[in-house]
Amino acid sequence: MTQIDFQELLTRYRAGERSFPRLTLPAIDGFECDLRGIDLTDSTLDQAYLPYSNLSQAMLQGVSLVAAELADAKLFEVNLAGADLAGASLSRADLRHSCLQGANLSGADLSGVNLRGADLSGADLRGAKLIKANLAQALLAGANLGGANLFRSEGGALAEAICDAMTVFPNGHRDRR
The whole-number average pLDDT for the span 70-76 is 98
pLDDT reported for residue 157: 85
Q: Which domains does the chain have, with CATH numbers?
A: 1-177 (2.160.20.80)
Average pLDDT taken over every residue of the chain: 96
- Render pLDDT for 131-169 as a digit per residue (tens, 0 to 9): 999 999 999 999 999 999 999 999 988 899 999 999 999
Does the pLDDT value for residue 87 go beyond 80? yes
CA distances from 24 to 6, 81, 84, 176 (A): 10, 18, 14, 42
pLDDT reported for residue 27: 81
- Render pLDDT for 90-128 as a digit per residue (tens, 0 to 9): 999 999 999 999 999 999 999 999 999 999 999 999 999
CA distances from 82 to 13, 57, 61, 132, 150 (A): 24, 16, 6, 24, 22
pLDDT band at 176 (very low <50, low <70, confident <90, very high): low
pLDDT reported for residue 15: 98
pLDDT reported for residue 177: 53
